[in-house]
Amino acid sequence: MTAPKTFHVKSFGCQMNVYDGERMAEAMAAAGYTAAPGEDADLVVLNTCHIREKATEKVYSDIGRMKKHRPDQMIAVAGCVAQAEGAEIVRRAKVDVVVGPQAYHNLPQLVADAAKGTAAIDTDMPALSKFGALPARRRVGPSAFLTVQEGCDKFCTYCVVPYTRGAEISRPFAAIVDEAKALVEAGAKEITLLGQNVNAWSTDGEDLGSLIHTLDRIPGLARIRYTTSHPNDMTQSLIDAHRDVASLMPFLHLPVQSGNDRILKAMNRSHTRDSYLRILDRVRAARPDIALSGDFIVGFPGETEAEFADTLSLVAEVRHAMAFSFKYSPRPGTPAADLPDQIAPEVMVDRLARLQDALGRDQAAFNADTVGKRCAILIERPGRKPGQMIGKSPWLQSVVVEDGPPIGSLIDVDIVAAGPVSLTGVAVLARAA
Ligand code: 5AD
Ligand code: SF4
């Protein structure tokens, strides 16, 4: 194996993987490797996701395809499949590097080691060391991610995250503030704070609410978001921040998974349908226009039709602005995978379709309600037609504007039309003097 010169990082799964992928690319660039756009690079890093479906099998088939296409290519497997499978990936698929999510700072060294001929594996989970060892952020888009918290101690019975990402860890306050400032200097106007349980972030008496207050004071940072949250960590301080901090966008992604208490208990969610709804009441009292989002799982082992109907009735009660919904997928090593009464695939397909119908209707209704409002949008990318630009509303909707200003502009628009997944906006012209 010759040492690679070019590399390409391919990220799957959640936003944290996107962030990790960017940081790995920065570490590789700082070590002298050149980023290349496609899968033809000398080194491809597969930044994998393990949360659902046959993710592991897909990684193996991707590797097989890549090896056929270019046998001399170096392949690194990163992300949660790397953490879960470890050396097994080298045995089975003969990849060159396996690097777990807590060891990314070692990627350049692992690549150099692998170039000498033996596979390099690092799935250690040292507390926090990777962030301190990663190079500073240099150039980012107008909306940037910043990981503040990692890992999960909640052990929902269906979920593999506590095993692949390890225990809950909060990054130090000063490190986060420094990185936020660096992101703003590098071009970010919006920062989304990331964590598997981002609202569990806390250090030295600070919580996410007080962190948001501090970040709000960074000049040039116009918007703050955070994801993903757990209902049990929704502190009053964070809820109050939604009322008091204008740069904190009116959007909350708060997964509930099911509307039925027996299922929630079997999932080990440690909240009930009612306690979840009461949290939303408090959030809406603090910020009446907040857009609510959630995650749902249908077909958890043993879920009856009546229990599923409770999820539909919860959805009808909340009226989400958007949501993600999934068929339950047994994850090896998690308690729920061994439960009796696994639900038949056709039942799951049917329940998912009914749930997504309801959620789709609510999303369309939420979008329709935005028509006639004036709001700021942050332009993030060009649209499909010439001159069109697409930005995000405060409520995280995509807004298309004709003859829009350049990427990074924060402009006021009047929302004039709504489709199921995006809105049309007309720029508010600066009033003549
Ligand atoms: N099966 C289906 N969905 C899952 N999720 C997590 N684990 C599973 C699983 N085993 C979903 C949950 C979580 C989101 C990130 O993925 O809804 O909130
Ligand atoms: Fe998984 Fe539950 Fe932790 Fe979320 S809170 S990462 S669903 S174990």
pLDDT in tens, 203-252: 988 999 999 999 999 999 999 999 999 999 999 999 999 999 999 999 99
**How many angstroms separate the alpha carbon of residue 390 from the centre of ligand 1?**
29
Beta carbon of 295 within 6 Å of any ligand 1 atom: yes
Each residue's pLDDT tens digit, 292-346:
999 999 999 999 999 999 999 999 999 999 999 999 999 989 999 999 999 999 9
The domain 371-430 is placed in CATH, from the list 3.40.47.10, 3.30.565.10, 2.40.50.140, 1.25.40.10, at 2.40.50.140
- The amino acid at residue 291 is A
Q: Contact at 8 Å (CB) between 79 and 47? A: yes
Contact between 390 and 381 under an 8 Å Cβ cutoff? The reply is yes
Residue 336 tokens, joined? 């729920």
Ligand 2 pocket mutation pick from 51, 155, 331 by most atoms within 8 angstroms of CB: 155
**Which of the residues in the chain have pLDDT under 50?**
432-433
Q: What is the pLDDT of residue 129?
A: 64
Cα–Cα distance, 354 to 352 (Å, whole number):
5
> Residue 362: what residue type?
D
The answer to whether 213 and 182 are in contact (CB under 8 A) is: no
Tell me the ligand closest to 199's alpha carbon.
Answer: 2
CB atoms within 10 A of CB 213: 17
Q: What is the CATH number of domain 140-369?
A: 3.80.30.20
User: Where are the domains positioned within the chain?
Assistant: 6-122, 140-369, 371-430
Which amino acid appears at position 187 of this protein?
Answer: G
CA of 328 to the centre of ligand 2 (A): 14
Which 3-state string (H, E, C) describes the chain? CCCCCEEEEEECCCHHHHHHHHHHHHHHHHCCCEECCCCCCCEEEEEECCCCCCHHHHHHHHHHHHHHHCCCCEEEEEHHHHHHHCHHHHHHHCCCEEECCCCHHHHHHHHHHHHCCCCEEECCCCCCHHHHHCCCCCCCCCEEEEECEECCCCCCCCCCHHHHCCCCEECCHHHHHHHHHHHHHCCCCEEEEECCCHHHCEECCEEHHHHHHHHHCCCCCCEEEEECCCHHHCCHHHHHHHHHCCCECCEEECCCECCCHHHHHHCCCCCCHHHHHHHHHHHHHHCCCCEEEEEEEECCCCCCHHHHHHHHHHHHHHCCCEEEEEECCCCCCCHHHHCCCCCCHHHHHHHHHHHHHHHHHHHHHHHHHHCCCEEEEEEEEECCCCCCEEEECCCCCEEEECCCCCCCCEEEEEEEEECCCEEEEEECCCCCC
Nearest residue by C-alpha to atom 12 in ligand 1: 295
- Cα of 156 vs centre of ligand 1, distance in Å, is 9
Ligand nearest to the CA of 161: 2
The residue whose two tokens read 């939604």 is 242
Would you call the peptide bond into 6 cis, given omega within 30 degrees of 0 as the criterion?
Answer: no
pLDDT at residue 430, as a whole number: 56
293: amino acid identity, one letter: S
CATH number of the domain located at residue range(s) 6-122 in this protein: 3.40.50.12160
CB 47 within 8 A of CB 81: no
Q: State whether the beta carbon of 244 lies less than 6 angstroms from ligand 1.
A: no
Q: Ligand 1 pocket test: pick from 14, 56, 159, 197 the residue with the most ligand atoms within 8 Å of its Cβ.
A: 159
